[in-house]
Structure 1
Amino acid sequence: MPGLRIIFMGTPDFACPTLQKLIERGERVITVVTQPDRPKGRGQKLLPPPVKVLAEQHGVPVLQPVKVRNPDVIEQIRELGPDLIVVVAFGQILPQALLDIPRLGCINIHASLLPRYRGAAPINWCLINGETETGITTMLMDAGLDTGDMLVKRQLAITPDEDAQALHDRLSQLGAETIDETLNQLQAGTLQRQKQDDTQSCYAPLLKKDNGLIDWTKSSLQIKNLVRGMTPWPGAFTYLHGQLVKIFQVDVAAESGPAGTILSVGPAGIVVGCGTNESVLVRELQLEGRKRLKVADFLAGYKISVGDTFSAITRTGDA
């Protein structure tokens, strides 16, 4: 039985395992649609999206429209005659005219247990909010923001210390497994649609740098969860001696002291007061413009003393 004629729409690393799974299944991936090449790094060298690299390795044609809602792009996709469009972290909103093209619709792989955490950054906000479980939902797309009917859900326990990168990697693989199950049910005629309960939804907006500013009056667990959710990007941060410092790894500690005050310093970590007589142990950090380092290496080149204070503002008062 020949595979489905599928157009795959995705851009970052997160989408690659799903594209690989579609190819391994023997589906006819007729075109990949991804974002344009972008300048990256200090040299601002123009680099292709990871999905484009994978598609070209398998000889799959690639489209890179600046705006997928452009009428010429929509017509180009219509002429390809897809049975199905599979969307994973594409990065643009699909217009209704495009959603209407494939006879089997457009299936999106979303990195949360819908209707919870609709939006652009579900992985990060699950961690920031201290969730202990998340997962993947495949969804039949409509014109709303992650509001389409749910198809298949796969749950995943969140481990207490994993950050957004580690959870991203596990969910990326689970996404590939979930589309595999979804297409198996689709082809067997057993795939069922379930409407989302909007009263159970919450929003996971795109992250901004300012979301990472640490409020040391928060509890030790809230600070730990913020650091987990903001690592590796855009990073949780604070200020010390007027300089921005990114914080990458934190544990709850047993000492108590004023919020933001450094209570002890050693090669195992820096203990900082927070919340109401709570504290956290900072294990990994980065001075602005320098490398990310374990505390022992950081202290070899930067002096921190007991009584120094991490702050939400610089010396000049700029947050």
Structure 2
Amino acid sequence: MRIVSFGFQTWGRKTLQALIDSEHEVVLAVTHPASAQSYKAIWADSVEELAKEHGIPVHLTERADAATIDLVKQAEPDVIVVNSWYTWMPPELYQLPPFGTLNLHDSLLPKFTGFSPVLWALISGAPEFGLTVHRMDEQLDTGDILVQRSLPIGPTATGTELVEAGMALIPGALHEALSVLEAGTANWRPQDKTARTYFHKRSDRDSRIDLSWSAVDLERFVRALSEPYPRAFSYYRGERIEILAAEVSTVRYGGTTGRVVVQEGGGAVVCGPDPIRGDNHGLVITRVRAADGTEHSGAEFFTRGGYLTDVPE
């Protein structure tokens, strides 16, 4: 089959590589220009460079405008394959090929539609995540499902580890989807839209620790925001600090939410919805990055006690 690829960042590059390695012909690669903007600068392997290495025509654009649609029409694809495309695609484009447009989304749809689904799945305490290949339609990540692959979320997994594991699913899932499409044996499964969950784009505010959460939720939050993502942060003695590693305390704690006491070999942050009862596990912060960029153990950093706060105090 003749395929046009729309993709960006490492997800788009891995998808293009899988297409190159397949028996199909990639006739055009459409991608966004490189960007230093927040999450676009993370996992920034170039689709453009890979396409050029293999002699595939490349079109750089921020959005699927009239010029983009004309180029795709001229390429005469049998199917369009999309992974990590940041802007809206009009029906005139995604309905153009005979087999329509396949979108790859790194969640088990209909759960975790939207943005940063792997991070949100870990933060939310989901037991598993995965990859879905589905037909693009008028809404975001809501089209009929063709292929799904799932993986468990382990008790110590980081966001980075899960993202990498999800990317490793791309070649197999894409090969299966294209094979059944070409053979005419595709089994499309409509999504249960009543079960849909949507998560917004992450910003700096979304990395701030919410001291009203339980220690279990906060420990997952810290693991989710692993390098290269913006780290979980809070404020301590007026300065912004990053929480690099943490665990749930063995002991239960009482006291004011946010109070830091040195226990269990680290800084135990007293948190939870009812701290005055002394029945909450604390978040034991084991590794911290200070405002000057230096890293410290929690026990070393919090020897003066004090409080974590939502704003500088």
Instruction: Please say whether Structure 1 and Structure 2 have the same fold, judged by a TM-score greater than 0.5.
Output: yes
Q: Alpha-carbon deviation of 1:269?
A: 3.5
Partner in structure 2 of residue 111 of structure 1:
106
Instruction: Pick the aligned partner of 2:308 from 295, 307, 310.
Output: 310
Q: Alpha-carbon deviation of 1:221?
A: 0.7
Q: Alpha-carbon deviation of 1:289?
A: 4.9
Alpha carbons 2:62, 2:87 under 8 Å: kept: no
Query: 1:269 and 1:56 mapped to 2: Cα distance?
Result: 50
Query: 1:314 and 1:40 mapped to 2: Cα distance?
Result: 25
Q: Alpha-carbon deviation of 1:49?
A: 5.3
Alpha carbons 2:2, 2:27 under 8 Å: kept: yes
Query: 1:252 and 1:56 mapped to 2: Cα distance?
Result: 48
Alpha carbons 1:117, 1:201 under 8 Å: kept: yes
Query: 2:248 and 2:134 mapped to 1: Cα distance?
Result: 37
Instruction: Pick the aligned partner of 1:120 from 95, 109, 115.
Output: 115
Amino acid at match of 2:245: Q
Partner in structure 2 of residue 278 of structure 1:
281
Q: Once structures 1 and 2 are overlaid, which stretch shifts more, 51-60 or 199-208?
A: 51-60
Amino acid at match of 1:295: S
Alpha carbons 1:108, 1:138 under 8 Å: kept: yes
Give the gaps of 5 or more residues in structure 1.
Answer: none
Q: Alpha-carbon deviation of 1:132?
A: 1.1
Q: Alpha-carbon deviation of 1:32?
A: 1.0
Instruction: Pick the aligned partner of 1:236 from 232, 236, 250.
Output: 232
Q: Alpha-carbon deviation of 1:134?
A: 1.1
Q: Alpha-carbon deviation of 1:39?
A: 4.4
SS at match of 1:274: coil
Q: Alpha-carbon deviation of 1:271?
A: 2.4
Give the alignment's Cα RMSD to 1 decimal.
2.2
1:150–1:257 CA distance, 2 compared to 1 (3 A): same
Partner in structure 2 of residue 295 of structure 1:
297
Aligned 1:127-142 pairs, distance under 5 A:
127-142=122-137
Residue-pair matches, total: 300
Give the gaps of 5 or more residues in structure 2.
Answer: none
Establish whether residue 57 from structure 1 lines up as the match of residue 60 from structure 2. no
Query: 1:223 and 1:17 mapped to 2: Cα distance?
Result: 32
Alpha carbons 2:261, 2:302 under 8 Å: kept: no
Query: 1:147 and 1:40 mapped to 2: Cα distance?
Result: 27
1:288–1:51 CA distance, 2 compared to 1 (3 A): farther
Query: 1:22 and 1:189 mapped to 2: Cα distance?
Result: 19
Q: TM-score, normalised by structure 1?
A: 0.87
- Deviation string 1:199-235 (CA, Å, 9 cap, x unpaired) is 1111021112111221223211111122233333232
Query: 1:14 and 1:282 mapped to 2: Cα distance?
Result: 32
Query: 1:19 and 1:186 mapped to 2: Cα distance?
Result: 18
Instruction: Pick the aligned partner of 1:31 from 17, 28, 32.
Output: 28
Alpha carbons 2:18, 2:170 under 8 Å: kept: no
